A = this chain, B = another copy of it.
Amino acid sequence: MPTKTASIIIIGNEILTGKTREKNSEFLIDELHRLGIALRRIVVIPDDIEEIARVVREHAARFDYVFTSGGIGPTHDDLTIAGVARAFGRAVVRNARLEALIRELFGDGLDEARMRMADTPEGSELIAAEGLRWPVVVTENVYIFPGVPEILRSKFTAIRERFRTTPYRTTSVYTQEDEFDLAPRLSRLAAEHPDVEIGSYPTFGREEYRVRITLEARETAAVQSALSDLLKNLDPNRLVRIE
């Protein structure tokens, strides 16, 4: 199965100025990895229609799935819908199904600020799912999520099965050897196992190991083969554990 790729676009001046801490990428990183999706980029950009349009257009062309977070709401700095529409040269239109939902939620006395929540890029798809009061808006391959962590989580969780593919297999080897000494051996291993992603993460004195080596691939056999070659070249007396 070919690898499916993804990117995350976080939209909001409040993140870039430190007024709000960004919490959604951590959640999405772990979810996508468990689903077997290769996350290739995360970007945080300001509330600026042109900037949103440019980044969404670039990512939608390069990656299979694009997830946006933030910039959904009634105020002047909520520009994600307009930015996504502009990325694809589409108009922003009021969606009849969302309009009906808003009338259900708010009843009478609807003003323009509330009705704006029914605006979507023209031709967007709405994904309804069990337990979701509000559907997920999808424009081409761009999944539009609000920035509020609790809402993003419940929406992503409700639709995540559509993204699932072959999961990654990961093995970690912890050693007391020095990363400088390991480097040539890891370079050789990486060259001999191009289908396995080999990572090397040193610690600085506070752990019971000095380097964590990770081996990751979709095929269990590929990870096993790289692990077997790695272990032949490690000092068994300084091996801490394998997970």
Measuring CB to CB, which residues of chain A are less than 8 angstroms from any residue of chain B? 13-22, 25-26, 29-30, 33, 39-46, 73-77, 111-114, 116, 148, 150, 168, 170, 179-184, 186-187, 190-191, 197-202, 204, 214, 216
List, in ascending order, chain B residues with CB within 8 A of A25's CB.
Answer: 22, 44
Please, how many angstroms separate the alpha-carbon atoms of A39 and B13 in the complex? 9
Taking A13-B199, A73-B179 as known contacts, 13 extra A-B pairs with beta carbons closer than 8 A to each other, sorted by chain A number, are: A14-B201, A15-B29, A15-B42, A16-B40, A17-B33, A19-B199, A40-B46, A41-B46, A42-B42, A73-B202, A75-B186, A76-B187, A77-B199
Quick one: copies of this chain in the complex? 2
Q: Classify the secondary structure of A's interface with B.
A: mixed
B29 touches A180 (CB 8 A): no
Instruction: Tell me whether A74 and B43 are in contact in the complex, defined as CB-CB below 8 angstroms, given that A19-B199, A20-B201 are known contacts.
Output: no
Q: Among the listed B14, B16, B170, B187, which residue makes an inter-chain contact with A75, where contact means beta carbons less than 8 Å apart?
A: B187
A42 touches B43 (CB 8 A): yes
Top 9 nearest A-B pairs by Cβ distance?
A: A113-B183, A74-B183, A42-B44, A76-B187, A75-B200, A113-B180, A18-B29, A16-B39, A76-B190
List, in ascending order, chain B residues with CB within 8 A of A182's CB.
Answer: 75
Please, how many angstroms separate the alpha-carbon atoms of A198 and B77 in the complex? 8
Instruction: Tell me whether A180 and B74 are in contact in the complex, defined as CB-CB below 8 angstroms, given that A19-B214, A20-B201, A45-B41 are known contacts.
Output: yes
